[in-house]
Amino acid sequence: MITSNIIKKKTILVVCGGTSSEREISLKSGKACSKAIRSLKHKVLTFDPAKKNFITIKNYKVDLIFNALHGRDGEDGIAQSYFEYFKIPYTHSGILSSMNSMDKIISKKAFKKNKIRTPSYIELNTINYLNVLKEKNIFRSNLMYPLILKPSNEGSSIGVKICKNFLDLRKHTNKLIKKYKTLIVENFIGGQEIQVAVFNGKPLGAIELKPKRKFYDYQAKYSKSANTEHLMPADLSDKKYKEVLVLAKKAHKALKCRGITRSDFKFIKNKFYLLEINTQPGMTDLSLVPEIAEHSGISFKNLVKNIINDASINR
């Protein structure tokens, strides 16, 4: 019996762009992934939710969806709910895991429940912030300046402010609460910036970032001119390197993630603090997941191939 090595050609819809603050990065991820998919001999169609309503996806005759969206509507369960409703197999995490991972308050509760260390925090929203935002409440909550103030459901460090004192905190809160409705205040953790990629429960490796800027913000992540230094593998002892891989795997499992994720840690005084987990990590030429995968022997093309092969519904 002769077995065929011919790969069945699929029609794949790459969904990218969207209306979130991370639109430009999503377009770059979509472009890079489309190129890799074409090199795998599949047919590529693209869909931008900023130009067409999600509901029109039902009109596309495709075998699966490659989700290259980042941020709101693409990473928070909205896009995934359409993919599930139309029963089109898709990549990355499902509705609930996407929604819970994107919401930093829900994900922090999951980390704590699973004994994964995360910075102390308080939640601010349009209803409680005037009562909660008092200096005495800050100290009662084990918070110490400088503090990080950020939206509870944004990615790529968008809207993040470092507050050196209460006046800073109040000023930035009054401004951000109008736009984001729910904010999180947490301790600023110094030390090493460590990020771990996990694919379906298997850690691929840990990278260390040394930003030249105040912290690893949007510019440091996506601008070559920021000159952020990447150390792969991360500069950790063998024991600590293995420990952070285990923690990332645990976080991936705790939030019931699928496909690829990236967990963002800080390492200081021999302790890891998990800041967040990203279910739609960037796939650009400056992105960390492809760099980590490459170091573990997985080319960008094969990484995309593995993500495609994992596509399904009921995620």
List active site positions: 22, 156, 222, 262, 264, 276, 278, 282
Cα 87 from Cα 84, distance rounded (Å): 5
From the number of C-beta atoms within 10 Å of its C-beta (0-12, 13-18, 19+), residue 278 rates as: buried
Backbone angles phi, psi at 267, to 5 degrees: -125, 115
Angstrom distances, CA of residue 59 to CA of 11, 38, 49, 56, 93? 13, 22, 14, 6, 23
Residue 125 token pair: 């929203």
Angstrom distances, CA of residue 25 to CA of 2, 126, 238, 278, 297? 45, 29, 33, 14, 25
Q: Strand, helix or coil at 80? A: helix
Q: Strand, helix or coil at 314? A: coil
Cα 211 from Cα 230, distance rounded (Å): 9
User: How many CB atoms are located within 10 Å of the residue 159 CB?
Assistant: 20
